[in-house]
Structures are given as C-alpha cells and as structure tokens.
Amino acid sequence: MNALEGLQASWRPALALIVGLPLALLVLNEWLAALRRRDHALTAPVAFLRNAIVPAVGLVVLLDGVLALPDDDLWVRIGHTILWVVLVAGALGLVNAVAFEGADPGSWRARVPKLLRDLVRLGLVLAAAAIVYSQVWGADLSGALTALGLGGLVLGLALQEPLGNLFSGIMLLMERPFEVGDEIEVGDTTGVVQEINWRSVHVMSPGGITRIIPNASLNGQTITNYSRPLRQRAEALEFGFSYDDPPNKVRAVLEEVARGTPGVLPDPAPYAATVSFADFSVNYKLVVRVPQGQRMAVRNELMTRVWYAARREGLTIPYPMSVNLEHEADTPFYRPEPTAIELLARFPKLPAAPESWDATRARRADYARDETVFEAGAAIEGLCLLVSGEVSLQVEHGGVLAEIATVRRGEFFGEAGLHGAQRTGVRAVARRDCLCVWLSPDAVREMLERSPALARELGHAFEVRRRTSAAVRSAPPPTAATAGADPAARGTGLSPSSSPPEL
C-alpha cells in the first residue's frame, strides 16, 4: 500500500521532468537565438538560465519528487546546494545585465566601475554561501566564522601586496580621481586610462605602449587628470626673448601666432604674459587651450611658427651663455644671416640695390610651411620677392578657395601693394618653408625705373594673374575637388640665370 501511494505521488514530478524540462529548454533556445541576433544585454543571463539553472531545478525535482529521497540524504543536500548557488549567481548576473550592462551611455549606472560591481557580487555570493551552509547542511556558523577569521589573518599576512592593491583600488573607486578614457599623468607616465581592475590601472601612452600601474603605488603619487573638468587641456609654453625686444610687441606676436595655429581653441583666447627677467633673456609664458589628445601635435606646430614669426618680426631668441670668452679676431663667432640687400644680389636679372637701402626699403621675412603670408582683405604695402620655397595664391569663390597661381623662387607677388598700402583680394599661403624679401613701393619704383624690361615682365605676369582671378570669380561656384591652379598663372619667371624668361 505504501509503495502504491509513493508511485501515485511521484508520477506528477516525473511527468513534469519528462515533459517540462525539454519544453523549457526548447523555449529558452529560441529566446536565446533571438536575443543573440539583436545583441541584447539579456543574452548572458538567459544562457546561464538554460545551461545552469534549469538543469539544477531538474536535478532537485528528480531527487526530491521522483526518487523521494529524505532531506538528510547526501545527494539531496548536494542538489539543493547546487540549486541555491546557481540561483544566486543567475540573479546577480541578471541584475548586472539589466542595471549596468544595458545602461544608457553617460548615465550613473554606466559609470559604475566594473571593479566595484565585482566586489559587491563577491560579497553577496559569500553571504549566500553562508546561508546555504547553515540551512542545507545544518552547520553552526560560529565555528566556521572563527576558523574563517584565523584563516583570513594568515591569508592577509601572506597576501599583503595583492590585498594592498585591492583596497587601494577600492579607495580609488570611492574617490574616483579618474575614469576610463581620461588622460592622466602619474609620475613619469602619461596616457589614456584603458582599464581599472582590482590590482592595477592600465594606461596607454602616446607611443602606443600600455603601462600597468599597481593600485598601491597610485596612493603615493600625484595624479594629474587632464580630462577634467573639460575634454580639453591648457598648454603652457615658455619662451625667452632678448632684452632689446619690447615686451608688448613680443606678447602681441605670440598671441597672434597662437590664434593662427590649427588646433588652438579660440575660447578661452590664447594669452601671453611676461613672467621673469632671466640672466640672458626676458621670459614669457604663452597659455593656450588644445583638444585632448592633440597636445604634442599642436605644441610642435606652435613652437615652429613662433620661430618663424620671431625671424619675421625682428625678434631675437638669445643663446644661453655661461662663460666669458675673449676673442681678438675680426671675424664674428657665427656666420651672420644674409641681409635683404645680399638676398637681392642673388638674382642678376634685378638691378643692383644700393647699399644705402635700410629696413624700410627692403626687409627679409621667413614663413613656415602652411603659414599664411597675408589674408584676402588685408592691407599690404610694397612687393614681395620669393627667395626660396613656394607660395600658393588663392581667391575665394562660392565659399571655396581656388588657387590662381603658384609662386616659385625668383618670382614676385603681392602686387596690390605696388603703389602703397592697399587691400588685396588674394590670399597667399606658404607651401614650404619660405624666405622672402619685402620691397617698399619706393624701392620697387626705383628698380622699375632702372630696368624697363623688368617693368614689362612684371606687368605681363600681374595681368595674367588678374585675368585668372577674374575668370575664377565669374565662373560657376567651384567645389573643393575642382578648385585648382591655373597653369597659365606662373608668376614673373625671374631666375638667377642671366637669360631672361620667356613670358
């Protein structure tokens, strides 16, 4: 009679196990396939439900319902322990996927570090294990806690360094001096934070090298975060100029160069300040704002352009000297730069310039690659001779810059200022490092009077440019891909040789 009652009581769990388990696995397989196609955040929890939780439930149903084993049986306790472990792990995985993995970018849930989530999950798992150990196995936790305390003391002494990194990581998460994606500087390491885990912080340096910094060492370092409060950084550059250079002029030149350098943000505007009077120079500091990640590129371009601007404006960057030398020879210590008169003498086709000409009649000017010589609409005075390099002459039409001529060595440009200060409609940009000589209108007039042939050549070349510019402006609006140079507008064609060019 008891066997018959046991058979009647076990057929329902057996039927549920035989029919329900395959049906549940089939439904979960279809659901999982749909989630994987959409790359949904619930993919991992549903996979864990199919692979672990459902089989564990089936095992408990088999042991308790079908076989009807007593509660104190070893296999029943093992089955219940497995079920509770997978249920806790599945619940924590579901909360992590829904609350954090599927969070919107920029929300507070998306900013919770993975290390903090892992530590909370570990604590909950340990608490659940203690409850299962007490309820399922009927054990007294007081002895286990005592043993755990002694074991923890021994383990803590043996793992001082890893535990130090762990608790240092927890302190970093509480303070949050930086996040993944921030550009930081720690000691001699500078780069972008790639990962923050329980043991270390991974920083990608500008050279592409990953530096792994232990969390414990971060507590004793000064951390500089260049990404806060904005995704831009202030860059301070120091320069030294001669005591003969007026500070107001130096500061104006530095700020003008900074405003024209690509990558320098206009707001807040670049600012130059006089900071100290040193042994060999007056020191200035130029502060600019640059986007994050472009520090070295902008710094390189800005430092390069300052050198050319200093040469162009007659400013002196002095050499540092720490000893006194007695020199009785007549020759200078260094080879002096050629003057504007000496540069003009390199072109035999030009009339010889009188030695009496001063800087008001002829002056040299250096320009960096991609630097603007003058903008369209700027007032220029005189005529410019290109001694070396290459200059592109451009006009704007329909919002697109179209090149009308390429000026090469020995050619003149800037004809708008031929008869005095006038506004030009052409933009001139240096394609390579350029050395130029600017001639005043009086100097140009004196040269043309002494060389009628030069006057005819200049008139012809300037007329070609004028027609080309007019043709570009009257044409349909060009695009950036179609705007280009007109081969007919090639400058004056002056060369250092004695034979005249054919225009």
Q: How much is the pLDDT for 108?
A: 52
Q: How far apart are the C-alpha atoms of 392 and 405, rounded to whole Å?
A: 6
Domain boundaries 232-313, CATH class: alpha beta
More confident residue, 362 or 42: 362
Q: Residue 450 pLDDT > 80, yes or no?
A: yes
The closest of 261, 380, 237, 379 to 309, measured between CA atoms, is: 261
**pLDDT tens digits for range 113-164:** 666 667 677 777 777 777 776 766 666 666 655 656 655 555 555 445 555 5
CA–CA distance from 376 to each of 392, 407, 422, 426, 464 (Å)?
13, 16, 11, 5, 19
> What residues are paired with 212 via a beta bridge?
202
Letter string b/e over residues 330-348, b meaning 16 or more CB atoms within 10 A of that residue's CB: eeeeeeeeebbbebbeebe
Read off the DSSP letter of residue 413: E
More confident residue, 471 or 138: 471
Q: Residue 322 pLDDT > 80, yes or no?
A: no
More confident residue, 390 or 475: 390
- Residues in Cβ contact with 79 at an 8 Å cutoff, skipping those fewer than 6 apart: 56, 59, 60, 63, 64
SS3 487: coil
Share of the chain above pLDDT 70, in %: 74
Triad 347, 349, 352: Cα angle to 5°: 75
For the chain, the first-to-last Cα distance in angstroms comes to: 124
**pLDDT tens digits for range 39-65:** 777 788 888 878 888 887 877 777 777
Residues 275, 247 contacting (CB under 8 angstroms)? no
Q: How much is the pLDDT for 479?
A: 54
Q: How much is the pLDDT for 198?
A: 66
138 — alpha (psi -120 to 50), left (phi > 0) or beta? Answer: left
**pLDDT tens digits for range 81-118:** 787 888 887 787 777 777 766 666 655 556 566 666 67
Mean pLDDT for all residues in the chain:
78
What is the secondary structure of 29-79 as a DSSP string?
A: HHHHHHHHHHT-TTHHHHHHIIIIIHHHHHHHIIIIIIS---TT-HHHHHH
CA–CA distance from 492 to each of 415, 454, 462, 500 (Å)?
11, 9, 8, 11
More confident residue, 3 or 264: 264
Q: How much is the pLDDT for 12?
A: 72
Look-up: residue for tokens 């000064």? 222
Which range among 136-150, 168-182, 232-246 has the greatest average pLDDT?
232-246
More confident residue, 471 or 161: 471
The closest of 11, 256, 215, 23 to 115, measured between CA atoms, is: 215
What is the secondary structure of 238-250 as a DSSP string?
A: EEEE-TTS-HHHH
What is the secondary structure of 132-152 as a DSSP string?
A: HHHHTS---HHHHHHHHHHHH
What is the secondary structure of 277-288 as a DSSP string?
A: E-SSSEEEEEEE
The closest of 487, 491, 484 to 463, measured between CA atoms, is: 491
Q: How far apart are the C-alpha atoms of 73 and 478, rounded to whole Å?
A: 88
Residues 136, 80 contacting (CB under 8 angstroms)? yes
Which range among 176-185, 247-256, 333-342, 494-503 has the greatest average pLDDT?
247-256
Q: Looking at domain 340-474, does it have CATH number 2.60.120.10?
A: yes
Which CATH number among 1.10.10.410, 2.60.40.1080, 2.30.30.60, 2.40.160.50 corresponds to the domain 178-225? 2.30.30.60
